[in-house]
Structure 1
């Protein structure tokens, strides 16, 4: 399944590529999408759900479409929803997803992969931040990685669920810093509050999460902010350097995007991309990005397909290096 998925995403997105051309310059008007549905393949209140509902609000408030429903299909890192999408035929249906799903497909041995559905658009990215307790003897990420290389098991790192964005970043950082990814001591917590408590209680040497989870504690001085994973510094924690500034050639974005059902017609896909493009171009969406601290990483068509293929290769390899798949 892996080879066919990569081949599809990298080279066989002809309908998506053609659809993207309709979004260059003047945006094409979408067809009949008066009953748009957006699936959030996770529980209410999480990142995918929040993004879907904010997009719903923008589409409604700007008059792009009035009847927009968001619904939840929970389970297995989004792969339950992915499987449902692969059986759908509704041209007015999109599914919110992101980097976590790429790993979940592998760790859950999902029978359905990204090649079994159709990319619409990448919407945004959320930077990760690497932090430490304020009493940590290491002031910089480079200081920590040097010590981590000598004792990877003795310097535990807190983060979110196994195989998720936080662990992927930990593995990629280990690889970039010459640390054996299989030896790192990653402790998965079910929520940001639990990992934060472990950091504040000096139970772990470092922590990884979205900037929004730890940013307030970094600004207050309760945690040391070592590095953010974005290409540039985050305005939420402007004094925290990037991982690249810290000496490691690594960028990771907890991106989110939209997919639709397989076999969608060229025209229907063009209409969906046009609708999402219109929402993206509004002042209301720019306000959402600013308020949430999200980066605008909008991408459609063949470029989005190639991005997905690259992410799939990178994530699958590091999960193998860690020993999760």
Structure 2
């Protein structure tokens, strides 16, 4: 009788897929956007019982490409391994001529997005985006821009602005800073003409009145944000700095489906939505073939811009 009971229990357990103990690679230092995304995933996946144990490992360097290479080489076929990344990684793969790309992992979904914001110090004589564009047209090199890493989302956005303003993108004076704090200090210290980063990076200073927000890169005005879009300012530019999650290479269709289902359960949970609201992140969840198509289009467009800027041959 005991043998029948045991066999029945084993059959019941086998009928349900094992719950994964995920490890998420954040290919950046602690505290940044990718690290925050990974740790938010960790919290929600554990709170929602999607995974009993989620570990986060930081592997920083080279715009995420060091972590990406390590992840791809060490986790083939491992359905319990995830990595976060995003638009910055797309640019870094191209500018660093990385031998490993997003084609070497299994993209699962776009999770969140932030729009770029263009600011000037409150004391700047530049009052609006039209004034900044006029200065850019008059002497591109005299307008200095503070932003994140070379070839990253901020740099790409400046290149797109220059192109839309019919200014040679190779003549832009872009100063790359390794951290948001350094860029912010340069802007507040009037060491540069303008600054560009995700809206959240500047929100507190804009509200305090120490920075003037000229425009945002969204398609439409953002609720609660007193600034026009770049399109309203006469520049045909729309851009989102998105973040994504990918799984390891070499997964079976069944493994990919299980990971995708876990991520979908996470993003549709109340816990995830509460985290997005608290952090000011937009819910831009996109998965499957739609995400694959968006990723392909973004890689093609980014390569074109980086060639225009002169960062990619």
- Assess same fold via TM > 0.5: yes
Give 1:155's aligned residue.
143
TM-score (norm 1): 0.87
- Does 2:103 align with 1:115? yes
Which structure has the larger Rg over C-alpha atoms?
A: 2
Give 1:185's aligned residue.
173
Per the TM alignment, residue 30 of structure 1 is displaced from its structure 2 partner at its CA by 8.8
Q: Distance in 1 between matches of 2:234 and 2:103?
A: 35
Q: Distance in 2 between matches of 1:134 and 1:30?
A: 59
Give 2:242's aligned residue.
255
Q: Distance in 1 between matches of 2:234 and 2:70?
A: 43
Give structure 1 stretches of 5+ with no counterpart.
1-28
Say if 1:30 and 1:271, in contact at 8 Å, map to a contact too.
no
Give 1:322's aligned residue.
309
Per the TM alignment, residue 166 of structure 1 is displaced from its structure 2 partner at its CA by 0.8
Say if 2:121 and 2:194, in contact at 8 Å, map to a contact too.
yes
Q: Secondary structure at the match of 1:245?
A: coil
Q: Distance in 2 between matches of 1:200 and 1:111?
A: 38
Q: Distance in 2 between matches of 1:228 and 1:31?
A: 45
Per the TM alignment, residue 260 of structure 1 is displaced from its structure 2 partner at its CA by 1.3
2:260 to 262, 273, 288: 273
Give 1:244's aligned residue.
231
Per the TM alignment, residue 143 of structure 1 is displaced from its structure 2 partner at its CA by 2.1
Give structure 2 stretches of 5+ with no counterpart.
1-14
Give 1:41's aligned residue.
27
Q: Secondary structure at the match of 1:63?
A: coil
- Paired residues in the alignment total 296
Say if 1:30 and 1:275, in contact at 8 Å, map to a contact too.
no
Higher relative contact order (CA 8 A, sep 6+): 1
Per the TM alignment, residue 229 of structure 1 is displaced from its structure 2 partner at its CA by 1.3
- 1:169-180 equivalent positions in 2, closer than 5 A: 169-180=157-168
Q: Distance in 1 between matches of 2:69 and 2:86?
A: 15
Per the TM alignment, residue 84 of structure 1 is displaced from its structure 2 partner at its CA by 2.0
Q: Distance in 2 between matches of 1:32 and 1:175?
A: 51
Q: Distance in 2 between matches of 1:74 and 1:31?
A: 33
TM-score (norm 2): 0.91
Q: Distance in 2 between matches of 1:36 and 1:287?
A: 22
